[in-house]
Structure 1
Amino acid sequence: TLFFTEEDKYGLYSNLLFKYFLAEGVVCGHDLFVASAKEHPDNILKELPAPLLDDTYRNELGEEATAVKSKDFQDSMKIAWRYQNLPKMEVNRPTSAKFGHYYDVSKTISPELFQSIKWHCFYLPEELSSQPKMKSCNMNSAYTRLLQSIQRIIYQEGFDGSDPQKKQRNILRIGIQSLGSMLWGDDICSSETPEDTHSLTKFLYVLRGLLRKSLSACIITLPAHLIQNKAIMERVTNLSDTVVGLESFIGSERETNPLYKDYHGLVHVHQIPRLNSLICDVSDTKDLAFRLKRKLFTIERLHLPPDLSDTVSRASKQDLAESAKLLSSGCGAMAIGKKHLDF
């Protein structure tokens, strides 16, 4: 399948999600193929987050639960009286790492885990210096080199299923960073009318064909906020299986908004896969948000707090006392006071 990620404005959280995908492949023993035109793939692999074991993850959840309880105790006196007796919404937290794994973003993965897997790198500046410039099928040379490299790894390592008896079957995880940017020789991010508008879409069309015929999964990050031509983004979305956009609060008005104080950004699910079916599985909610905690990067359902204003809508105690004084003195004194009663 092809997982497409729209980068946030500064590329901070999209790169973290990109590394999570690769780190999951290392823990599961999958082969890796990392392609980049900005950062060397060797440096990307060295910065992968370290996996958390079951006991370590339970300790992390215990510390976070204690912090949440203490925060609720501190805020118990601030909440309005009409909300205080309502049952609190409980968030179902996983008790064990049965599906997938969890990672500590404050630590990097140990070199011993890389000994049991194979990884392949594609660094565009090195590829351009080693081979002459090429262009075929109205596609720029960077995309052509990348497709040839992916195709060679799939066929040589047997991910296409050509030699199933010689070696044990495995999965190839492909990661392509910041595809479509100026570093890849594409001008879709710098011009509303680029010279070659179909170069990226042709690359994705051929790549999806390679993924369908092999045991491979691919994640691609793209700076969608820089693409001015919306028609290109629509074609890219149609050529992908899963499309997710990350919206960071850094530098925006939501960063100081008290409604989003517990989160660092929003997750927009634009498309989910519908492989071997006519319709796709629709989730019960699309309001997702992410936050980067001390050690964990989590994606949760977006729960906004109740709208609590500083001024209460009902009359204050002072106004009630003045009204009671006017009522006790009789109807003749009502014209002198601040409050007037209409019958």
Structure 2
Amino acid sequence: MAASTATSSGVKTSFQKKGKTKAVQIKGTRPSLHNNLLIVSSGVPSFDFILGGGIPVGSVILIEEDTYGHHAHLLLRYFLAEGIMTDHQLFLASANEDPEKILKNLPYPVEGDKLLAEDAKTGADVSSVSEPMKIAWRYECLPKVQDSATSHKFGHSYDLSRTATSDLLSRVKTGTFHLSEEMKKETRSSHPFLCPTHQRLLERIEREIKDGEFHLTENAQSKQSLNRTVLRIGLQSYGSTLWWDEGYSNKVETSTSLCRFFHALRALLRNSLAVAMVTMPVHLLHDFVEVRRLERLCDAAVQIESFAGSEKETNPIFQDYHGLLHIKHLPRLNSLMVSTPDSMDLGFKLKRKKLTIEKLHLPPEFSDSVSRPQEDTVLPSGGGGGAGCSSTLQKRHLDF
């Protein structure tokens, strides 16, 4: 029952002015401008812009690896490095490379826009920074994804030429999962519907969420403090052949185990202060329907296509890019509408110190050898009265 208060006229009333309650703020997070969800940065501002400002907390992001997996693993390293700078707890799982080794090779953070200033001084990408475009002037005012993302600063900048120091790694709590070591331990089966390797990983993630009190249940909310943080989960090359158990390698259940794992993982993260980024070599899965099913079981999915080892590497059309970024689907949480970028044709550049994602701008004009790969066909000369007409068309190059 509300206590009565006296007004200036001496009449008592039971109404009280509602005071402002201080909301719990978590470092490294902010509400989304589209659906007011809590989001975190991926470490790459241009990638945050594509996802609608950042990665929603409680979601699963699928990164479909390129052939060699280099660029997808680089996005995962950015994701983990951003967690260190925002004091988020980390959990990294891998079946091939030692997770401890991956954490020691995270990019080094730089203060402010110091990295961008250094690139300008060294002359990196000078043609697009200082010198105005002389050809196809109408393309000069087109915005890039990177420029649109940096209008609202969110996240940090990193230098790929340097690795994070041990002092930075020690400032946050990290958990690792190396499949070869974890399978040697004996645990009780709690998820019999999964492959043993997938089951062991899901149990470990549940333990990390429970021990860190990242659950958003009523009992957990009563124990919340003002210094809460977010759990960042990274799975490298999940779904490769190393993640399959020998007894399940030739069974049909191996394909359904992946779908069951993503379904259980997303349900687990929905009620937790956690976010997961999963890189998967989908090119090893020959079933297109299975790939589409895995994409829909995640909240967002993007595919990375690298030009390394392909014909596009020597194609002059893509000479300014190192690969393409294909958007499969974007996060659609608590909203009927999805925030889409200005352009769905995206390419990425990997420089010495940073990774940028931009709109795909094709060259407006090519040389004769590129624009006209073969000579114009010569019409055959006919007999009789048509010889004069056909002779005028022979050996003539028409330019339109």
Secondary structure of the 1:183 match is helix
Secondary structure of the 1:129 match is coil
Which residue is 1:300 aligned to? Answer: 358
Tell me the CA shift for residue 51 of structure 1: 1.1
Which residue is 2:322 aligned to? Answer: 264
d(CA) in 2 for partners of 1:65 and 1:74? 15
Secondary structure of the 1:17 match is helix
Pick one of 219, 237, 240 that aligns with 1:181: 240
From the superposition, tell whether residues 246 and 186 of structure 1 become closer, same or farther in structure 2 (CA, over 3 Å).
Answer: farther
Secondary structure of the 1:130 match is coil
Letter matched to residue 46 of structure 1: K
Letter matched to residue 233 of structure 2: I
Tell me the CA shift for residue 131 of structure 1: 2.0
Secondary structure of the 2:170 match is helix
Instruction: Please identify which structure carries the higher helix content.
Output: 1
1:107 aligns with 2:165: no
Letter matched to residue 139 of structure 1: L
Correspondences of 1:186-201 after superposition (within 5 Å): 194-201=252-259
Tell me the CA shift for residue 134 of structure 1: 5.3
CA deviation map 1:139-159 (0-9, x unaligned): 111111111111111111110
d(CA) in 1 for partners of 2:106 and 2:142? 32
Correspondences of 1:40-55 after superposition (within 5 Å): 40-55=98-113
d(CA) in 1 for partners of 2:275 and 2:129? 41
Which residue is 1:330 aligned to? Answer: none
From the superposition, tell whether residues 64 and 164 of structure 1 become closer, same or farther in structure 2 (CA, over 3 Å).
Answer: farther
From the superposition, tell whether residues 164 and 8 of structure 1 become closer, same or farther in structure 2 (CA, over 3 Å).
Answer: farther
Secondary structure of the 1:23 match is helix
d(CA) in 1 for partners of 2:79 and 2:235? 11
From the superposition, tell whether residues 134 and 254 of structure 1 become closer, same or farther in structure 2 (CA, over 3 Å).
Answer: same
d(CA) in 2 for partners of 1:150 and 1:96? 35
Which residue is 2:178 aligned to? Answer: 123
Pick one of 73, 95, 100 that aligns with 1:37: 95
From the superposition, tell whether residues 71 and 255 of structure 1 become closer, same or farther in structure 2 (CA, over 3 Å).
Answer: farther
Q: Which runs of 5+ in 2 are unaligned?
A: 1-58, 372-394
From the superposition, tell whether residues 186 and 18 of structure 1 become closer, same or farther in structure 2 (CA, over 3 Å).
Answer: farther
d(CA) in 1 for partners of 2:260 and 2:83? 27
Tell me the CA shift for residue 256 of structure 1: 0.2
Does structure 2 retain, via aligned residues, the 8 Å contact 1:180–1:186? no
Correspondences of 1:144-293 after superposition (within 5 Å): 144-161=199-216, 162=220, 164-165=222-223, 167=225, 168-185=227-244, 194-293=252-351
Secondary structure of the 1:10 match is coil
Secondary structure of the 1:147 match is helix
Runs of 4+ in structure 1 deviating by more than 6 angstroms, as ranges, are: 70-76, 94-97
d(CA) in 1 for partners of 2:364 and 2:245? 46
Does structure 1 retain, via aligned residues, the 8 Å contact 2:63–2:277? yes
d(CA) in 2 for partners of 1:153 and 1:87? 49
Secondary structure of the 1:122 match is strand
CA deviation map 1:260-298 (0-9, x unaligned): 011000000101011001231222210110011121111
Does structure 2 retain, via aligned residues, the 8 Å contact 1:5–1:244? yes
Larger CA deviation: 275-284 vs 218-227 = 275-284
d(CA) in 2 for partners of 1:87 and 1:201? 43
Correspondences of 1:68-79 after superposition (within 5 Å): 68-69=126-127
Letter matched to residue 313 of structure 2: E
Tell me the CA shift for residue 89 of structure 1: 3.8
From the superposition, tell whether residues 259 and 72 of structure 1 become closer, same or farther in structure 2 (CA, over 3 Å).
Answer: farther
The alignment's TM-score, normalised by the length of structure 2, stands at 0.70
d(CA) in 2 for partners of 1:246 and 1:185? 24
Q: Which runs of 5+ in 1 are unaligned?
A: 314-337
Query: What number of residue pairs does the alignment pair up?
Result: 306
Tell me the CA shift for residue 55 of structure 1: 4.6
Larger CA deviation: 63-72 vs 126-135 = 63-72
Does structure 2 retain, via aligned residues, the 8 Å contact 1:264–1:292? yes
Does structure 2 retain, via aligned residues, the 8 Å contact 1:135–1:141? no
From the superposition, tell whether residues 117 and 73 of structure 1 become closer, same or farther in structure 2 (CA, over 3 Å).
Answer: closer
Pick one of 84, 91, 99 that aligns with 1:26: 84
Correspondences of 1:59-98 after superposition (within 5 Å): 59-63=117-121, 67-69=125-127, 83=136, 88-89=140-141, 91=143, 93=147, 98=153
Which residue is 1:9 aligned to? Answer: 67
Tell me the CA shift for residue 74 of structure 1: 12
